[in-house]
Amino acid sequence: MTDTAIVHLGLQAMLIAFKLAAPTLLTALLIGFGVSLFQSATQIQEVTLSFVPKAIGVGVALLVTGSWMMHSMITFTQQLFAQLPALLS
């Protein structure tokens, strides 16, 4: 296994991790931003007001993108196992 192959595998793993984390993180970011704007405009500083919408939004994002996430992870794993004999020799 060469250094180039190790770096390539690491890059692929980080890219798939970023792609899989993006929908949930962006959803939480956008909902958090919207709630903080609402809180600053109305002067309401309630902790559950920021937590509950984020939890619901992230749950919906996981329901919507879960199938795509699973397909991406399965494809990556199958490609990794297919490359395994070439990497070990």
Tens of pLDDT, residue by residue over 7-50, are: 999 999 999 999 999 999 999 999 999 999 999 899 888 878 88
Whole-model pTM: value is 0.81
Q: Are residues 35 and 50 in contact, defined by beta-carbon separation less than 8 angstroms?
A: yes
pLDDT of residue 47: 79
Q: Are residues 29 and 21 in contact, defined by beta-carbon separation less than 8 angstroms?
A: no
CA neighbor of 5 nearest in space, from 76, 78, 89, 75: 89
pLDDT of residue 86: 86
pLDDT of residue 61: 96
Mean pLDDT across the chain, nearest whole number? 92
Between CA 26 and CA 43 the distance in angstroms is 25
